Amino acid sequence: KLQFLYFIGAPPTPLAAYGQMSVPKRSLSLPSVKDRQGVKDEGYGAAERGVRDVASVIRSVKAHFKNSILARDGLYIVLYRLNEDCGKEWFLRFIHNKSGGVPMLLAAIDYHLTDALFIETASQLMCTLIHFGGRKQQRVVQKVAKKGGSKLFINVLNYHKANNTKIVQNTCSMLCTLAAADQKIGAVARLSGGLATLLQICRKSGNKELVIPASTCMLSLAAKCPLNPPTLVKKGAVPLLMDLVQRTLPSRQLPMSVRITCRLLLLLAKVEEGASAMVKEGGVMTMFTLLDHPSAGSDLQKVVLDTLRYLADNPDGARHFESLGGTKRIVDIILTTNANKSGSALLDIVMQLFRFHGYVDLPLNQDQEVSFTHQVGDGSPLLADRITAFTPELTPYGEEVQHMHEHDTASHVRMFVDPMAAPSCPSVLRYRPDDIEPLYAQPPDLFNRLVMHDLRRLTEPEKVINSVVYDDIDRTITEDLNPRNAVHPLRFSSRFESGNLKRAIQIYPYEYDLVLNTDLNSAYHCQWFYFAIEGMVPGVEYKFNIINLEKSTSLFNEGLKPVMFSEKQFALTGRGWHRIGHDVAYMRNPYKRRPPLPRDLERAMSADKKRLKKREAASEADKAAIVSSALRKLETRSQGSCYTLTFKCSFEQPDDLCYIAYSYPFTYSDLQTYLASLPQQHEDLADHYTNQVLCKTVSNNNVNLLTITSFKRDDGTPYTPEEIASRKVCFISARVHPGESCASWIVKGLIDKLLDTYNEESRYLRDRLVWKIVPMLNPDGVINGNHRCSLTARDLNREWSNPNQVISPSIYWMKSLIRHIKVKQGRDVLLFCDIHGHSRHKNFFTYGCNAIKRNTAVTPSLVLERVLPRLMKEEATTFSYGLSSFKVQKAKESTGRVVVWKELGVRLSYTIEASMMGSDNLLSRGGRLVSGHFQTADYMDMGVYFLQGLKPFICSDSDPSILKLGDVVHQLMTELGGNVAAPVLKGGRKQSQAAAAAPDDDEDDDDDEDDDDDDDDDDDDPPPDEDDDDDDELFQFEH
């Protein structure tokens, strides 16, 4: 078999690579190049034939398992094939479970452990397999680790440490890779003598090419087990590693081995005995010399700074440290060696310098935190026990329907002042500045100026005030971090509805560090800010640094500015919320995120617990593994850096009360005031509008459900329940994420348009559709200033797949209502739309659910989900179809739009995303398209554009809008590869048919369905659609 394999394409003299070697008689006789070429000419292409022979090679090696020469030749064939064009196919077939390739290779290595030639070939093949995989690499590594590969390769290293350089290099490389997948490899290395072997290899000063792989492997293994660093210290690793470093200091260029060795020394310095040993070996002086070395670079300098921090904790090390110049010299060295750096490169090393000086933990007093501990209700609806109470449109006209017009008072958890301080600007105010508010253009040197300014805290610490001037928890403010009298401090407050500011610290007379609250019962989700300021001096420039934001990127670096409301300006000129600030920047800071809270652990384990319930039996080990995995995830997340938003602004009026916020606020009280005002604003409101309470939240706040549709004709006669039931139903929701306040302004514009009594288009939409609107799905989060979660620390947009009536009542009852109307009542649900804000993109755009697969003919029905976003693009210059995405990812399967599409069969299921910043295509007062910030009027206008885009879906055949619908479908089919020139007959009418497939859409990491997982799986199958025939009828238009 092996001879045949060589004959069809193996290299002519593979055994020559092994040097002088006697070949036994039973070894293979190799054909000549001419013979093999002749076979290829006959059609036996080596690459094509080789793919089918993977199993043959594996079987042959197993058959000649005890013959090291024949087995080695078989492995050499695999290694050769992996480097050809068919390498990917060979790789996939070799690692497949049924082939048994990986177990065979490990078993062969174990059997021929003492054969250097065989182990060299086998280790080279294993390295190639592990690093060949790309996306499949993790699968190979896990399989090798599961089959005991870690212990096996440590044994290989122990046996061949002095014999073969190539084996040592390959084995160290494999152990470094396995360390990422095998949690027990550190303990195995310690117990099997692997650490001692690596130290012996490093002591071979004559073989310098082994120092890098050995030290790298030692670093990987030492980091995997907390007992390994002390073991290395006891075995004399510190003098050896220090000697390796010190011998290279005189050279002008530091080798890579020094950088790896320094990382290993950092691990050992965390051990008290290791730090003492390093001090005795002159470690402090060595670190200072490395810090000032011309070829050190910022990466090595960061490692050296961390090491010095641990050495300075040792009494002898502290004395050496101060004798060499201490922190002042370190700052001078860093500034001198990095003088030519700017931007992120300079920021990176300066952040490490701050961490060296102790700027690691946020300046918080965490002994007392606000948490939600109230007894929750059962989440039952307020009106009735039956879900039919929420379809008042089917109640015969004249019968009593319970409305809600009274102003509902907010029930809150965070501490509010009494009465609540909130801006006097009402939510119904449609204030619009004279022209577009431009985006902020950052000066080129802004980041450098900000970094050098912050360095003053280290170089001139005597000028830093560091005084706590505000805390949102009622306690005596005596926590001056550096006690000194504050100079004319501002008076801060966030104890009002939707407010979020935890602490304010005065740094300089006119500069403040601000710390925000995370979401209640969680250590995460920190972005929304909203606070009040008093006591400002007019004309003075104040600087504010919000220091505990979480997201790594932000629109604040692309021109976004915060909004401000001035009580005095509003009283004098009627000026409402407007953009303020200059020197606006968003950048990383040295502070670590807060440690997780118990609710965070519960949420991290929830997905694994659900999977565990599906299994028949779950052992204690399985449960412990879930806890361990969740803790690791949270620990990794908590180790991340915080980010700072910094901006400057001045105030025009003395003794003013000003409010600063992330975006235009729209509170729960604003919503209730607005809804209560509707009967006074609109005549005959009861003829087409009802306001009910869908349910109570866990904090006993109302979740409003609005129903808008025409109950009476123009002549005053009422529609029958049967006539109204024949109308399609549209569901709209917003504010499932409390910090995305712009969503409420869009819903407000939509409601105002639908209730416009004198607008024919509004009447048209009411006559043909039933609108079910939940304007605030998460009122608890809105009231208490959360950014993303409810009071139970849950992201409600991840609860749709299995909502809990008690924990997430608003999601539970809204999903139940959609199912009831569609399934129980048999009515046609046309659309579901959840409205969100986005903090990383400009413009408006949508996320939809499209079932177009590769190699699928594109028909008009298949482009249905893409039609509404394209119509909205034609209505609004600020809408971006290019940013819209229609891919369904596994990470998004529990979101509202995906569940309603997939589980409830509503094809037009969308998320509308509104930028928190603005657009490049705003229409200025002069009629030009310019870049600028969105204002409240722009958000409200988008609600109108959404309705205008939906109108062609319900118009009659005689309406001119049907032509626009046909044009859009033609355009989409052309873009997606459809052949619109070849109509086919269906039901007596013409319909276009496509010829090619639609490309996939890549969905970005978005705020509404965030987090942070990208998924590359193929598009999901289309949901069972009960109304598929209706959809086809909708698009059977005449050409």
- Residue whose structure tokens are 């808008």: 708
What is d(CA 287, CA 266) in angstroms, rounded to the nearest whole number?
Answer: 11
What is d(CA 487, CA 981) in angstroms, rounded to the nearest whole number?
Answer: 76
Tell me which residues are annotated as active site: 913
How large is the average pLDDT for residues 665-679? 91
- Collapsing DSSP states into helix, strand and coil, what is residue 693? strand
How large is the average pLDDT for residues 964-975? 84
How large is the average pLDDT for residues 212-223? 79
Q: Is the pLDDT of residue 19 over 50?
A: no
Q: What is the DSSP string of 202-239?
A: HH-TT-GGGHHHHHHHHHHHHHT-TTHHHHHHHTTHHH
User: For all residues of the chain together, what is the average pLDDT?
Assistant: 78
How large is the average pLDDT for residues 487-502? 89
Q: Are 711 and 393 in contact (CB under 8 A)?
A: yes
Lowest mean pLDDT among 255-264, 568-577, 603-612, 1028-1037: 1028-1037
Q: Residue 621's pLDDT is what?
A: 59
Please return the burial class of 785, using the count of CB atoms within 10 Å of its CB with bins 0-12, 13-18 and 19+. buried
The Cα-based distances of 714 to 400, 679, 751, 771, 955 in angstroms read 22, 20, 21, 19, 19
Q: Are 627 and 634 in contact (CB under 8 A)?
A: no
What is d(CA 167, CA 121) in angstroms, rounded to the nearest whole number?
Answer: 9
How large is the average pLDDT for residues 871-876? 91
971 closest CA partner among 985, 992, 953: 992
Q: Is the pLDDT of residue 288 over 80?
A: yes
Report residue 999's pLDDT band, with 50, 70 and 90 as the boundaries: very low
638 vs 711, more confident: 711
Q: Is the pLDDT of residue 955 over 50?
A: yes
What is d(CA 272, CA 238) in angstroms, rounded to the nearest whole number?
Answer: 12
Which residues are CB-neighbours of 976 under 8 A, at least 6 positions away? 852, 858, 863, 994, 996, 997, 998, 999
Q: Residue 884's pLDDT is what?
A: 93
Q: Are 547 and 577 in contact (CB under 8 A)?
A: no
Name, of 97-111, 399-413, 544-558, 588-602, the range with top average pLDDT: 544-558
Lowest mean pLDDT among 341-355, 556-570, 676-690, 1000-1014: 1000-1014
Q: Is the pLDDT of residue 329 over 80?
A: yes
Q: Is the pLDDT of residue 294 over 70?
A: yes
Token pair, residue 378, equals: 């059962």
Report residue 704's pLDDT band, with 50, 70 and 90 as the boundaries: very high
Q: Is the pLDDT of residue 993 over 50?
A: no
What is d(CA 892, CA 1019) in angstroms, rounded to the nearest whole number?
Answer: 12
What is d(CA 118, CA 216) in angstroms, rounded to the nearest whole number?
Answer: 25
pLDDT above 70 coverage of the chain, percent: 75
> Helices 237-246 and 283-291, interaxial angle, to 10°?
40
Lowest mean pLDDT among 201-205, 271-275, 289-293, 978-982: 978-982
How many other C-beta atoms are found inside a 10 Å radius of the C-beta of residue 404? Answer: 19
Phi-psi region of 755 (alpha: psi -120 to 50; beta: other; left: phi over 0): alpha
Express each pLDDT in 131-161 by its tens digit. Answer: 766 666 777 788 888 888 888 988 988 888 8
Q: Residue 578's pLDDT is what?
A: 92
What is d(CA 89, CA 45) in angstroms, rounded to the nearest whole number?
Answer: 15
Q: What is the DSSP string of 598-658?
A: HHHHHHHHHHHHHHHHTSS---HHHHHHHHHHHHHHHHHHHTSEEEEEEEEE--SSTT-EE
Phi, psi of 471 (to 5 degrees): -140, 140
Phi-psi region of 581 (alpha: psi -120 to 50; beta: other; left: phi over 0): left
Which residues are CB-neighbours of 940 under 8 A, at least 6 positions away? 430, 745, 746, 748, 749, 752
Token pair, residue 933, equals: 């910030």
Token pair, residue 643, equals: 């980010």
Does pTM surpass 0.95? no
Name, of 249-253, 494-498, 745-749, 789-793, the range with top average pLDDT: 745-749
Listed in order, strand segments (DSSP E) in 784-900 are: 829-838, 844-847
Q: Is the pLDDT of residue 1005 over 60?
A: no
Q: Residue 503's pLDDT is what?
A: 93
How large is the average pLDDT for residues 952-962? 77
Strand bridging mode 657-661 / 563-566: antiparallel
Lowest mean pLDDT among 307-316, 450-459, 626-635, 868-877: 626-635
Alpha-carbon torsion 838, 843, 844, 846, what sign?
Answer: negative
**Which secondary structure element, helix H or strand E, spans residue 274, and what is its range?**
helix 272-280
Express each pLDDT in 370-410 by its tens digit. Answer: 554 444 555 555 444 467 788 888 777 666 665 554 556 67
252 vs 427, more confident: 252
Q: How far apart are the first and last CA of the chain?
A: 64
**Which secondary structure element, helix H or strand E, spans residue 979, and what is its range?**
strand 978-986
Q: Residue 21's pLDDT is what?
A: 34
Q: Are 1003 and 847 in contact (CB under 8 A)?
A: yes
Token pair, residue 847, equals: 């996320």
